[in-house]
Structure 1
Amino acid sequence: MNNEQKKTKNDIAWETLFEKYQILEQVSKHGLFEIESSKINQERESRLMAKFDHYVNLPAIFKDNNLSILPISRSRYVIGDFDTYLKVEYDSNIEEITVDFPEHIESIDSSNLYSENSALNCAFNAGIIGDLVDEPVSYTLSGRMSTGNFSFSIRNIVTGTSTINVKNSQCEIDAGFESDNYLVLVEAKNYSVDDFLIRQLYYPYRLWSSKVSKQVVPVLMTYSNDVFSFFIYKFKDDFDYNSPTLLKQKNYIIDSEEIQLSDVSNVFNQVKIVEKITDIPFPQADNFERIIDLLSLLFEKDLTKDEITENYQFNKRQTGYYTNACRYMGLVQKNNSNQEKIFSLTDEGKDIFKKRHKLKYLELIKKILENQVFYKVFELTANNGELPSESEICQLMLESDLGINEKTIERRSRTVRNWINWIWSQID
């Protein structure tokens, strides 16, 4: 595979623009470079070329040169050495708050929340948003709107600080909820994240702070593996883009049946080992929760490899690893259309993700244990009361004739270990 094939469409288009307008030279000389959307559109639609929700989504030429891009009007962007992302760390010590979903609501299926809107609607109707501010809330706003005019300072990796002037740019608010004392602005993701683009909270915050007298509360919500995680922030300085401080994190889950050891034992005792297709590599995807995130995204819609890489928290290599792992389990299929690879759930994958929480997770456990290596490692763990060592897992993999060399087996043994760990972590 040559380098051009490894690049995304955004990589290729931005390399052309950087060369055409000498962007690196302009940034070096002036500290930043402004570019019109009409110029970006000459290579590819600007809406696809200038929205990077996570650092990993940035085109290679941006990452290689510590650059970011921000909108400053409806038709203009600024590129510079800006620090635009904020890392997100999930506190594993925070217990999930279990909430009941109103029985009278039939139009929302709380076990089938595979879009940001459905997750937000569920959270609101389950009383979760009100619990965040300890006040009843009304669902008052969402969608695209003009930012108005404002200025702010932003951390510049080279010069220290830059000043940015925004003139009627556009921002999109996933949801706004108003109580007696607060306006809660939520940026929602239907997958777990390592970071997020501060702009997605900051621009709406600046807009509505100038419109209402109440305290504006910026919130990041992620819905992943059936858990709602809310990160509540405060901008210490309204004029400082890089001033968000995390006040608290709260996790919620809609009331569901717990998975017991006996449930997993029944799955283990009844599972049948399935011969895997040899043209799909043995999984190298250490985080099974991200497997679930990807399957959830594909339940909502089919995605190309570039769409997964450019829009979600995956880099190009991870997209390959995780889509292959899902295919290995028989839950995702790959089709070629117009020279693009399109990934979609198999019928079995769709059936599993229609199920309520407990049955869905037991089916996923079954899919893992259908593979002989995972089955044996789980069996050893159950018998010995602890996970086998890495060397023991590697030996099992060698004996299973997987068709991969010892060095590769060592890397992929971590996937086996982590997936088995994930199974045990589901047992209450």
Structure 2
Amino acid sequence: MAKKGNGNTHRIVDKEWAKIFDKYSIIEEVEKQGFFKITSTEINEFKEARLMTKFDHRSSLPNLFYVNDLSILPITRGEYVIGKFNAYQKLNLDYNSIKVQEMEFPEWIQSINPKNLYSEASALKCAYVTGMIKDVMEEEIIVPAVSGRMSTSSFDFKINHSLKKDIQMDIGIENSQCEIDAGYESLNQLTLIEAKNSFSDDFLIRQMYYPYRLWSKKINKPITPIFMIYSNDIFSFFIYRFKNPLYYNSLELIKEKHYTIKDKDITLNDIEEIMKNVKMKDEPKYPFPQADKFNRILDLLKSLYENPLSIENITLMYDFNQRQAQYYSRAGMYLGLIESKDKGIVKLSKLGEKIISKGKRERNLSLVRCILEHKIFYEVLKLYLEKCCPPSKEEIIDIMVKNKDKIYNVNSLSTIERRAQTVFKWIEWILDLQS
């Protein structure tokens, strides 16, 4: 049976990679040789290589890569290798089970706005000035050190086959390019951080491995690679080590730490007050949401605060496939927070801009109001609070069926059943806001 695709087939990068695969018979060459080398010049004939080779998450890979278990890695300044490589590391992050430490933001700092952390760079600066990074490193004194783009120099490594765990392949790197989001040095170590400003299920090991190999040769201190996510107002740090520096897949998680900036708590009374005063809206002519992870909607809203994005760019920048990018964008439209422009571009609405510019507490309460303005969500939360326990899926479906006339373009029970999961997850997100 053919492997099911990842839903990425209509993006420009997918279409152009399909042409490249056809021109160079890439699948056949990988089967014969175990890999295929391609230059940026050859890729540029179809579309800019920089845009055609940046896949930070497995879900963002072109469909032809995904169904054939292929990945792509840079090996020189202008050359890439395609093969059946296990290039990504799974990440297990459950916001419901983690312990989050509150950190004070220094009042005297005016040049960094903790209410406006909508890029990796701003999140990293905030993590530094609040003492999060010092706490993660467990050091008394740290200083900002290396960052930015640099040459990797030359090194060789082994990487796992994407399907056969007992097979490793050899790859040689010669002055490729790597980028370090932030580096901090103490008396005892150099910490290199790869940062993302959205939730993800995995990450590309190369973004940590290439800088690790480069700086392991340059200095005689231990190198600590860290993957950081800023999402859902939580700074999550995953501290790793490479057990075998010559082995790409030897990444081992040592510990993880999670922080948030201290703010006034949200209570059940705050949520109940919104319920007392909220005014119901007519259902918009957008599909009823199918987007279970509300924090991903929040990540998308924050990203759109800086710039409008195309659906294609959303899939390339974040841990979304094309279908998910559409689902989450439409969920934002359903709430009145996102608008569609021409050519598949989405942007924040005026309401979206107003809400996202608020501080954490007021922003989240405003989002609660946006959700509860829709009768189905209001009725499910009301039932939850009356029962003092989560409603069953059947009870949620029953509420949805009774209000079927209020659900745009949902005509079958099977579709309602799928959407019921989103309703439950959004209500769960609301109640989890309580401290």
TM-score by length of 1: 0.96
2:150 counterpart residue number: 145
1:419 counterpart residue number: 426
2:98 counterpart residue number: 94
Counterpart selection for 1:284 from 290, 304, 309: 290
Structure 2 matches for 1:154-173, cutoff 5 A? 154-157=159-162, 160-173=167-180
Structure 2 matches for 1:394-405, cutoff 5 A? 394-400=397-403, 401=405, 402=407, 403-404=409-410, 405=412
- With over 3 angstroms needed to count, the CA separation of the structure-2 counterparts of 1:133 and 1:353, relative to structure 1, is same
Alignment RMSD: 1.3
1:133 counterpart residue number: 137
Q: Distance in 2 between matches of 1:325 and 1:115?
A: 22
2:340 counterpart residue number: 334
Structure 2 matches for 1:24-423, cutoff 5 A? 24-90=27-93, 92-135=96-139, 136-157=141-162, 160-278=167-285, 280-336=286-342, 340-400=343-403, 401=405, 402=407, 403-404=409-410, 405-423=412-430
CA contact (8 A) 1:377 1:387 kept: no
CA contact (8 A) 2:71 2:86 kept: yes
Q: Distance in 1 between matches of 2:428 and 2:75?
A: 46
The letter of the residue matching 2:331 is A
Q: Distance in 2 between matches of 1:171 and 1:396?
A: 52
- With over 3 angstroms needed to count, the CA separation of the structure-2 counterparts of 1:276 and 1:176, relative to structure 1, is same
Q: Mean Cα displacement is larger for which, 221-230 or 259-268?
A: 259-268
The letter of the residue matching 2:52 is M
* Offset at residue 352 of structure 1 (A): 0.6
- Structure 1 residue matching 2:113: 3-state secondary structure: coil
The letter of the residue matching 2:148 is G
Kindly report structure 1 stretches of 4+ aligned residues shifted beyond 4 Å.
Answer: none
CA contact (8 A) 1:231 1:249 kept: yes
Q: Distance in 2 between matches of 1:353 and 1:341?
A: 22
* Offset at residue 165 of structure 1 (A): 0.5
The letter of the residue matching 1:106 is Q
* Offset at residue 353 of structure 1 (A): 0.8
CA contact (8 A) 2:240 2:253 kept: yes
Q: Distance in 1 between matches of 2:307 and 2:282?
A: 28
Percent of counterpart pairs with the same letter?
A: 46
Q: Distance in 2 between matches of 1:17 and 1:207?
A: 31
Q: Per-residue displacement from partner, 1:101-131 (whole Å, max 9, x unpaired)?
A: 1111001011210100000000011111111
TM-score by length of 2: 0.95
Q: Mean Cα displacement is larger for which, 171-180 or 91-100?
A: 91-100
* Offset at residue 93 of structure 1 (A): 3.4
- With over 3 angstroms needed to count, the CA separation of the structure-2 counterparts of 1:6 and 1:216, relative to structure 1, is closer
Q: Distance in 1 between matches of 2:321 and 2:275?
A: 34
- With over 3 angstroms needed to count, the CA separation of the structure-2 counterparts of 1:133 and 1:53, relative to structure 1, is same
* Offset at residue 346 of structure 1 (A): 0.5
* Offset at residue 157 of structure 1 (A): 3.3
The letter of the residue matching 1:125 is V
* Offset at residue 289 of structure 1 (A): 1.3
- Structure 1 residue matching 2:146: 3-state secondary structure: strand
Q: Distance in 2 between matches of 1:71 and 1:156?
A: 17
* Offset at residue 94 of structure 1 (A): 3.1
Q: Mean Cα displacement is larger for which, 264-273 or 157-166?
A: 157-166
Structure 2 unmatched ranges of 5 or more = 1-6
* Offset at residue 6 of structure 1 (A): 5.0
CA contact (8 A) 2:197 2:229 kept: yes
- With over 3 angstroms needed to count, the CA separation of the structure-2 counterparts of 1:277 and 1:158, relative to structure 1, is closer
1:23 counterpart residue number: 26
* Offset at residue 158 of structure 1 (A): 5.8
Q: Distance in 2 between matches of 1:298 and 1:126?
A: 26
- Structure 2 residue matching 1:141: 3-state secondary structure: coil
* Offset at residue 156 of structure 1 (A): 1.6
* Offset at residue 378 of structure 1 (A): 1.0
Q: Mean Cα displacement is larger for which, 168-177 or 261-270?
A: 261-270
* Offset at residue 38 of structure 1 (A): 0.1
Q: Per-residue displacement from partner, 1:192-251 (whole Å, max 9, x unpaired)?
A: 110000000000000001111111000000000110000000000000000000000000
* Offset at residue 296 of structure 1 (A): 1.3
CA contact (8 A) 1:283 1:328 kept: yes
